[in-house]
Amino acid sequence: MKPLFPRHILTASALALVVGLGHAGAQQVADPANEDVPPQVAQEAQDAAEANRPLGAETDGAVQAQVMPNSFADLAEQVSPAVVNITTTSVVSQPTAGPGFPEGSPFSELFREFGFPGMPGAPEGMPRQRSPQRSNALGSGFVISSDGFIVTNNHVIDGADQIEVEFYSGERLPAEVVGTDPNTDVALLKVESDEAIPFVEFGDSDAARVGDWVLAMGNPLGQGFSASSGIVSARNRELSGTYDDYLQTDAAINRGNSGGPLFNLRGEVIGVNTAILSPNGGSIGIGFSMASNVVSQVVDQLQEFGETRRGWLGVMIQDVTPEMAEAMGLSVASGAMITDVPEGPARDAGLRTGDVITQFDGTPVEDTRGLVRRVAEAPAGETVQVIVMREGSEETLDVTLGRRETAQGGSATGPQAPSDEPMESDVLGMSVTVLTPDMAEELGAPRDASGLAITGIDPEGPAAEKGLAAGDIITDVNQQPVASVADLNARVEEAREAGRRSVLLLVRRGGEPLFVALPIGDDQE
């Protein structure tokens, strides 16, 4: 189990059992083999597998719309044969506190005090003993095809030497890793079986609504197959990843549930149980399942290529704030503002710094997070239409996407002749001076960069209020390059004449670009 945020967000991963050489044994794990599924239902599941038909509840619209299901028993019976327990084994070499004595024991302290070889704190030069340790971890997963493809979390099988899958019937089969994607914490496994294996299918996670009933299944705390019910508590949760799109649920999810399915009432998988928010490591009703629409696309690529092949646009972006929208004359504060265009697909297609991407491949872009997901979902090498707002006009560009995993970005800063203007001026609550090659190098920019360096900030002025700081470099104002204080003043005056209340600055801080909407007031400073 790995924390995403210390003491708060935890992966719903395995209960680790560590057995060192010379130790008696480990915690007993309940036999997960079950007899809860009647023989008739088990036979129906096998028949479905033979017919290459996914398991699922045969429900109609009336059942889906009811406020409270009479029971989840029928649904649990039908989908259980496709849910699996996953046991991983790895052998690691770990420091020991002496022969047979665990680190931290009284014997460990005794031998440390007397300098036993290999003890922490032993005299310098004495060897530190290392003992092989066998580590077993437990998790969950689910079968997605009759020929034995299984989905789980990457952190469940990461670093494993052996992987064993146990089915609801008690049958155990070894599994091989087909591919993994740490970015979404998804792993695809494969088992070989002489018979077709019952499986389930992905549903549309975008169709899930807050308040919909869900059923979580898995192997919590190593106790064997288990089901818990709840509702979708929230959608589109983001924890720590670039491609995060989690469904939040109050269905009980605990350690060992990682990789298990979250079902809707039709028996479709709409999420993969991944993490919990907990102060104590147990379920408090705040669990997170990676949305099936994200997982299914990753799984398709892992099945076909054994790796992910995400699209790559090749831009740096930030959200458009209301102040930025006003400064640019936009009616709505939405889209993704391009802050930098390194060498790559976007530059080749003609996208520029300052463009606001409003549509990507026919889908409106609300913010940067949505754009990142849409680009990642698009196949590498595909040509898509990108619509941008540029200087008040809408433009459509065709971009042939690269592949994110192999993309190599370069500097987007082109050579510009610096102005020979030595004086320092106070403008809009900040002191600025023309950037020189030595100053640029000191501030982390290329020596041939041009712009204005901020040398001081009025703590009560608008620049301080917007977070600008000494050492920032202003390269563009209202999407036009500035190489002198006169350029800056001209852009500010143009904005006032146009009736705008702010100007849009493109600032580089430590080499990273950032747009800032800076209020300009009524009078020229």
Task: State pLDDT tens for residues 304-354.
Answer: 999 988 889 988 888 888 888 888 888 888 899 998 888 889 999 999 988
Q: What is the pLDDT of residue 50?
A: 83
Tell whether 193 is in a known binding site.
Answer: no
Q: Are 311-403 and 424-519 in the same CATH fold?
A: yes
- For residue 8, indicate whether it is catalytic: no
Residues 211, 247: contact at Cβ < 8 Å?
no
pTM comes to 0.65
- For residue 458, indicate whether it is catalytic: no
Tokens of 317: 């972006």
Tell whether 458 is in a known binding site.
Answer: no
Residues 289, 247: contact at Cβ < 8 Å?
yes
CATH topology for 311-403? Answer: Pdz3 Domain (2.30.42)
Q: In the chain, what is the straight-line distance between the N-terminal and C-terminal CA atoms, in Å?
A: 57
Residue 428, pLDDT > 90, answer: no
Catalytic residue among 181, 185, 472, 476: 185
Residue 25, pLDDT > 60, answer: no
Q: Is the dihedral of CA 145, 150, 152, 158 positive or negative?
A: negative
Tell whether 146 is in a known binding site.
Answer: no
Q: What is the pLDDT of residue 280?
A: 67
DSSP string, 36-102: -S-HHHHHHHHHHHHTT--------HHHHH-SS-S-SHHHHHHHGGGEEEEEEEEEEEEE-SSTT--
**Residue 42 CB coordination number (10 Å):** 17
Catalytic residue among 80, 258, 296, 502: 258
**Averaged over 75-88, what is the pLDDT?**
93
Task: State pLDDT tens for residues 221-232.
Answer: 777 788 999 999
**Closest by Cα among 308, 328, 309 to 320:** 328
- Rounded to the nearest 10°, the torsion over CA 21, 27, 32, 35 is 130
Tokens of 276: 């919990």
CATH topology for 424-519? Answer: Pdz3 Domain (2.30.42)
Each domain of the chain, given as residue ranges in start order, spans 212-305, 311-403, 424-519
Q: What share of the chain is helix, strand, coil (3-state, %, to 5)?
A: 20, 35, 45
Tell whether 226 is in a known binding site.
Answer: no
Q: How confident is the model at residue 250 (pLDDT cuts 50, 70, 90)?
A: very high
Residues 287, 251: contact at Cβ < 8 Å?
yes
Q: Which CATH architecture is the domain 212-305 placed in?
A: Beta Barrel (2.40)
Task: State pLDDT tens for residues 160-187.
Answer: 889 999 998 889 999 999 999 988 999 9
**Averaged over 482-497, what is the pLDDT?**
83
Lowest mean pLDDT segment, chosen from 112-116, 330-334, 516-520: 112-116
Q: What is the pLDDT of residue 376?
A: 87
Which residues have CB under 8 Å from 102's CB, separation 6+?
20, 23, 96, 108
Q: How confident is the model at residue 220 (pLDDT cuts 50, 70, 90)?
A: confident
Task: State pLDDT tens for residues 350-408.
Answer: 999 889 999 999 989 988 888 988 898 888 889 999 999 988 888 999 999 998 887 74
- For residue 155, indicate whether it is catalytic: yes
**Closest by Cα among 347, 335, 343, 322 to 394:** 335
Residues 397, 388: contact at Cβ < 8 Å?
yes
Tell whether 296 is in a known binding site.
Answer: no
- Rounded to the nearest 10°, the torsion over CA 294, 303, 143, 66 is 30
Give 189's DSSP letter.
Answer: E
DSSP string, 468-521: --TT-EEEEETTEE--SHHHHHHHHHHHHHTT-SEEEEEEEETTEEEEEEEE--
